Structure formats: C-alpha cells, structure tokens
Structure 1
Amino acid sequence: MARVLVLTGDAAEVLDAMYPVFRLREGGHEAVVAAPTTRPVKLVVHDFEPDCDAYTEKPGHRLPVDLAFADVDPERFDALVIPGGRAPEHIRTHPDVDRIVRHFFDHDLPVGTICHGPQVPAALGLLRGRTTAAYPPLQVDVEQAGATFVDAPDVVDGAMVSCRGWPDLPEWSRAFMRVLAKVPQRA
C-alpha cells in the first residue's frame, strides 16, 4: 500500500487533519504526520455559527507527529496531503516545505489539499495552470496564484485532489483514494 506524508502544523483544523489520517490507515495505507518539530501539534476546531460572518475557532485535539520537516525524505513517500486550518499559512514559509512539496509536484505524485491547504502550493508557485478547490474566501488567492478556482467538494486535476473544507471530506476522500490507487505499489 501507499506511504502518504501528511504535512501540517499547529492550528490545523482537527477534522481536516485527523479524518485523512484515519481514512488512509483504514484503507491500509501508511499515513506519516510531519510538522515543524516532532512535538504533537495543537489542532483547532473551526465551526460555522449563525452569528459569525466567518467561522469560530476553539481548541481541538493534539495530533502526534512522526517526523520533523527537516527529517523528511520525500523520496520515501508515494503521496502528500496538506490539511487546512491556519497551519498552511505558517508552514508555507518553513525552509523545508518547498523541498518537500515541490518533489510531489515535480514527480506528478498524488497531492491532496483540504480547505486552506492550497495556500502551500500557491505560495510556492505550484498552482499555476491548475484547477483547484479551496475554502471559498481563498478564491482570489488561488486565482492570483494562476489557478482556476472551482467551488466543489472533490476537484481532481491530474494527481491533485482538493476540496473546500471538512464538510467535503467524504467526497474528497473517495476521490483521493481513487487517485492513490493508481500509484504503483511499493515492493
């Protein structure tokens, strides 16, 4: 089965981070969580409430981390997932993130982005000419990065699968698992 790197950090949305990890493991794949350091990351809960124009944020679970970004050898992974929340705006400037993320795009390997996750490849110039979903208020950011924004739960552009946020995770997961199934199996 595939070995999938989940690239995250503090303030990732709890469902955006944990749902893919559990779904990948349920499907028999190895999900390896990487963050700036190996201490558990502090996840947050984003919820939509009628008296709030955006979303509210509350403390969530802690997610164990397997590898620090500096220790990631992207050659050892078949796919990448970048969960949303506020983590992408912070990790996109980490010195090792460019090296890691660029590897998956350069080798046309599966990349899944959820909610704010497209902020990472956008910051690296990797969305130019692609089609992607994202948290809807990021439409202008995605378009400024040279991509076409689609407001849908499971946008597939080659090996890249994206969605708007945690309410889309069932559709996103099915699409990502189909793309992942096309990856040659490791010996």
Structure 2
Amino acid sequence: MGGANDERFAVLFRSTYEDLLRFTERRIHPLAAEDVVAEVFVVAWRRLAHVPTEHDQARAWLFGVAHRLLASQRRTDARRDALTSRIGQVLPPEGQLADGSEHVVSQIDLARAWSLLSPADQEALTLTALDDLSNTHAAQVLGISTTAFSVRLMRARRRLRVHLNSPARRARLRPSNTTTPGGLR
C-alpha cells in the first residue's frame, strides 16, 4: 500500500475504532470485543480498495464487517456448545452402576477435558464429530491441507485422551476403602 492508503486507513481507524468497540461490547464480552474489532480492521486493511471513500459509508461498511464476524463467532460458539452437549450424552458402558453415577462422572470429566483443549483442537474435533465433515472437507473449511488437518485431528484426539485419562480422574474411579454405616465394605 502507498502513503495515501496508509493515511486513509489511519484516519478510518482513529475515527471509527471507539464506535466499533462499543458496538461489539454491547454484543459480546469486552475482551472478545477487542479481538473482533481488531479483525474488522485486518479485513479493512486487506480490502481497503473496496472500502467506500465517503466516511459514513466506510463506517457502515466496517459495522457490516463487525456484524458478520459476530455472527460467525456465534455460529462457532453454538457448534462448540452443541458438540460439548453431544459429547456429554455418551452412553455409559454396559455394567456400570444402575444409578448412573458413573455416567455423570464421565460427563463431568469429558466437559473438563474438553475445556482444557485449545480452540484449534476443539474446532478440529467439532468439524469431524459434530459437523460430520470428512478430513478433506474439514481441511477446506480451515484452509489447510488434508494432511495438516489429519495431523491436527490426531493430536487433538490424543490430547483429549490424555485429559480423560489424567491421574486425578483415575483416582476418582478407583473403589474407595471406606466402609458403609453397617461396617461393611
């Protein structure tokens, strides 16, 4: 970009940043709002030739970008929440306690393990488990090669397994040596 474009972008940034930040903060958490606004300006920088030159139109264009980014983030959050719910509905294996307590423990452990995964790991697992996409299609969604996605998915599954098989979880699943009120073990 040239000096004129740099100056145009700087003026656009200075004149709209606070308004865009307030716009996004009314819709999402303030810390996340800063990220969305930053992404709006990344888009504006990359597409500066498409940004209207008239200030009010440029401002509206930026708000439209913010609106679309927020909608995309809501869809991602909804998919992640749905996957967390879907993962939590895993049926307990045969032979578990009839009261379902082991199933509840498994759901809690799964939710905890899921929360420990990075957003990239969660996205890889979400695309295949919830969205039922093949590795090839999931890779296209992320804009990476199928091989890179396959490796990412393999590592995400491995990390989920590690979190699910943590020593703290195994300790909770071990039978306790406590006695019942009647003195029976």
Work out whether the TM-score is over 0.5.
no
Select the structure with the greater relative contact order (CA < 8 A; seq sep ≥ 6): 1
Find the structure with the greater CA-based Rg: 2
Q: TM-score, normalised by structure 1?
A: 0.22
Q: TM-score, normalised by structure 2?
A: 0.22
> If each structure's helix is expressed as a fraction of its own residues, which one has the higher value?
2
